[in-house]
């Protein structure tokens, strides 16, 4: 694969320069392969992937055809899932195999795992025997397990080696992992017994035994460990890499921090999307896929709105006599909804990072109750005075203030209790909490305001 120096796009946030994308479009339209290569060659693989994502499907097909055998497998691994699958379906099998031949096994697994079985088999047949066996073995592990995430290329050393032995081994090796940070020390049965940092090796005399340098206090990852737990461990314990072991404790691979952080980023993005009710969605997705993904959540919102409307319908007489109620009641509901969303967002993130546990749950619940109460009192005074003055009715202001306190308090409780309850039941708190919290705050907001108004003003 061609080696070259990567230049970053000349944008303040490292985003792509619009003129570069336009230039790529122009040379593709002209059919000039040499000009296309001169534009793409200095770019990082992630920036080339961004270009492929930003142009239309027809332009993307033309670009890939013009690019030809110069296509880089690293670019494929940087693409969003929808575009990646489309590109890999369109590429000839031999060209696809050539593109991924030099990738680490974890990247190859990531690329081929979603291919149709016939295309997957054709691609695997074109890999070297060792790589094919490694990828096939990785594909037998669960999709969300450490076995799928790990790379099988590992630098290992026996306990009796010296620093010089390791250096000579690495210098003479035909192929080393593209990125690695530690040498894993193993016993004769391939059980990890320690790790030695590369920096330690490079700063130590050749004759020093590895056994004197290795860190024995290290963590191993079971091959069937869920990738969310793997990402948590890397983040929690500031790990740079970790050996992966089979049920017998034998070394089968390694996970590095870049892969673990990618999982963590994906989990954060997934939680954000689910809180907003959009699911697993990319900018490059087709219209029908987006419609199908959003429809269930919009249906839940419709049901919630019907429940709120049902509550309002119980107070039509009061609204008919005091028109101001119709003007003011959305204020109470919307304030409660926003307050509930604030608490909900913090709670879901704390559950994801395991900062919110059964040992501190009650303290956090009481904290949110106090926050809701204090915010409720402050905004009750503001809106009570404003509402009473607006409609020249002090009692209406009192009713509005009381309803505000009630709904802000309930919003704080719902925002923390709903995700905790869903988590205890084994459901994803990010998946359904938003709909529940919004429904609760709307219903309580309308009921408290209209109920108090009917009781105190009529």
* Strand ranges inside 246-376, DSSP E: 251-256
As to burial, measured by CB atoms within 10 angstroms (0-12 exposed, 13-18 middle, 19+ buried), residue 63 is buried
Roughly what angle, to the nearest 10 degrees, separates helices 81-90 and 57-67?
50
* Rounded Cα gap, residues 184 and 196, in angstroms: 7
Q: 252 is written with which tokens?
A: 């089968």
- pLDDT value of residue 150: 92
User: What is the arithmetic mean of pLDDT over 53-65?
Assistant: 88
Quick one: CATH architecture of 286-456?
Answer: Orthogonal Bundle (1.10)
Contact 384, 415 (CB under 8 A): no
* Rounded Cα gap, residues 437 and 337, in angstroms: 7
Residues 6+ apart with CB under 8 A from 364: 347, 350, 356, 416
* Rounded Cα gap, residues 62 and 237, in angstroms: 46
Q: Is 293 helix (H, G, I), strand (E, B) or coil?
A: helix
User: What is the arithmetic mean of pLDDT over 407-436?
Assistant: 86
- pLDDT value of residue 301: 80
pLDDT at residue 14 greater than cutoff 70: no
- pLDDT value of residue 3: 45
- pLDDT value of residue 277: 64
- Residue 96 or 406, more confident: 406
- pLDDT value of residue 184: 95
- Residue 3 or 108, more confident: 108
| pLDDT range class, residue 283, cuts 50, 70, 90 | low
For 381-438, the DSSP string reads HHHHHHHHHHTT-HHHHHHHHHHHHHHHHHHHHHHHHHHHHHHHTTS-HHHHHHHHHH
Q: 291 is written with which tokens?
A: 């419609």
Q: Quick check: pTM over 0.75?
A: no
| Region of poorest pLDDT, from 97-106, 280-289, 396-405 | 280-289
- Considering the four listed CATH numbers 1.25.60.10, 1.10.10.10, 3.50.50.60, 3.30.70.3000, the one that applies to the domain covering 18-149 is 1.25.60.10
* Rounded Cα gap, residues 159 and 313, in angstroms: 78
Q: 202 is written with which tokens?
A: 């490079």
Q: 352 is written with which tokens?
A: 């994801």
Report CA torsion sign: 170, 172, 177, 179.
positive
- pLDDT value of residue 1: 39
**pLDDT tens profile 186-199:** 999 999 999 999 99
Contact 407, 383 (CB under 8 A): no
pLDDT at residue 417 greater than cutoff 50: yes
* Rounded Cα gap, residues 402 and 335, in angstroms: 13
**pLDDT tens profile 328-354:** 888 888 898 889 888 988 898 888 778
| Region of poorest pLDDT, from 19-28, 260-269, 361-370 | 260-269
- pLDDT value of residue 458: 77
At 221, give phi and psi (nearest 5°): -110, 120
* Rounded Cα gap, residues 301 and 439, in angstroms: 8
- β-pairing, 192-197 vs 251-256, is unpaired
- β-pairing, 221-222 vs 241-245, is parallel
| Region of poorest pLDDT, from 170-174, 273-277, 382-386, 448-452 | 273-277
Quick one: CATH architecture of 156-274?
Answer: Roll (3.10)
The most confident of 284-298, 399-413, 414-428, by mean pLDDT? 399-413
pLDDT above 90: percentage of residues in the chain: 34
- pLDDT value of residue 78: 85
- Residue 196 or 357, more confident: 196
Contact 106, 151 (CB under 8 A): yes
Distances (CA, A) of 246 to 58, 129, 190, 222, 224: 45, 22, 11, 6, 8
pLDDT at residue 8 greater than cutoff 70: no
Contact 149, 230 (CB under 8 A): yes
pLDDT at residue 6 greater than cutoff 60: no
- pLDDT value of residue 297: 74
Average pLDDT score over the chain? 86
At 219, give phi and psi (nearest 5°): -110, 140
- pLDDT value of residue 296: 76
Residue 251: closest CA among 156, 159, 329, 346: 156
- pLDDT value of residue 167: 94
- pLDDT value of residue 275: 66
For 214-262, the DSSP string reads -B-----EETT-BHHHHHHHHHHHT-SEEEEE-TTS-EEEEEEHHHHHH
Q: Distance from CA of residue 370 to its chain's centroid?
A: 32
| Region of poorest pLDDT, from 167-176, 225-234, 296-305 | 296-305
pLDDT above 70: percentage of residues in the chain: 93
| Region of poorest pLDDT, from 111-115, 272-276, 393-397 | 272-276
- pLDDT value of residue 11: 47
Contact 143, 111 (CB under 8 A): no
Q: 12 is written with which tokens?
A: 């303040």
Q: Where are the domains of the chain?
A: 18-149, 156-274, 286-456
């Amino acid at each position: 694969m061609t080696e070259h120096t990567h230049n970053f796009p000349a944008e303040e946030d490292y985003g792509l320069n619009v003129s570069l994308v336009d230039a790529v479009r122009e040379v593709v339209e002209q059919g000039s392969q040499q000009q296309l290569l001169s534009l793409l060659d200095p770019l990082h693989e992630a920036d080339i992937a961004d270009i492929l994502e930003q142009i239309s499907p027809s332009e993307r097909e033309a670009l890939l055809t013009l690019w030809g055998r110069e296509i880089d497998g690293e670019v494929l691994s940087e693409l969003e899932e929808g575009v990646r699958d489309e590109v890999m379906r369109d590429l000839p099998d031999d060209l696809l195999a050539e593109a991924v031949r030099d990738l680490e096994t974890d990247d190859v697994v990531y690329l081929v795992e979603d291919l149709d079985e016939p295309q997957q088999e054709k691609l695997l047949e074109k890999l070297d025997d060792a790589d094919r066996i490694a990828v096939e073995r990785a594909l037998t592990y669960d999709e969300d397990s450490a076995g799928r995430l790990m790379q099988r290329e590992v630098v290992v050393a026996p306990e009796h080696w010296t620093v010089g032995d390791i250096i000579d081994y690495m210098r003479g090796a035909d192929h080393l992992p593209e990125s690695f940070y530690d040498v894993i020390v193993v016993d004769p049965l391939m059980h990890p017994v320690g790790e030695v940092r590369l920096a330690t090796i490079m700063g130590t005399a050749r004759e020093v035994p590895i056994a004197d340098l290795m860190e024995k206090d290290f963590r191993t990852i079971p091959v069937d460990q869920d990738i969310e737990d793997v990402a948590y461990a890397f983040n929690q314990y500031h790990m740079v890499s970790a050996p992966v072991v089979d049920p017998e404790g034998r070394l089968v691979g390694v996970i590095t921090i870049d892969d673990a952080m990618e999982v963590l980023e994906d989990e954060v993005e997934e939680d954000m999307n689910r809180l907003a009710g959009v699911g697993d969605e990319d900018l490059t997705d087709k219209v029908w896929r987006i419609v199908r993904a959003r429809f269930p959540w919009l249906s839940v919102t419709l049901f919630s709105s019907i429940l709120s409307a049902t509550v309002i319908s119980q107070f039509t007489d009061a609204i008919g006599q005091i028109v101001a109620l119709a003007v003011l009641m959305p204020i109470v509901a919307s304030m409660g909804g926003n307050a509930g969303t604030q608490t909900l967002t913090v709670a879901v993130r704390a559950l994801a990072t395991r900062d919110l546990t059964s040992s501190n749950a009650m303290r956090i619940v009481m904290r949110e109750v106090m926050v809701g109460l204090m915010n409720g009192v402050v905004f009750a005074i503001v809106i009570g005075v404003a509402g009473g003055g607006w409609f020249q009715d002090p009692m209406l202001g009192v009713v509005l203030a009381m309803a505000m306190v009630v709904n802000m308090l309930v919003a704080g409780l719902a925002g923390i209790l709903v995700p905790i309850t869903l988590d205890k039941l084994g459901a994803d708190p990010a998946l359904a909490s938003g709909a529940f919290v919004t429904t609760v705050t709307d219903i309580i907001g309308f009921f408290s305001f209209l109920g108090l108004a009917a009781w105190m003003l009529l």
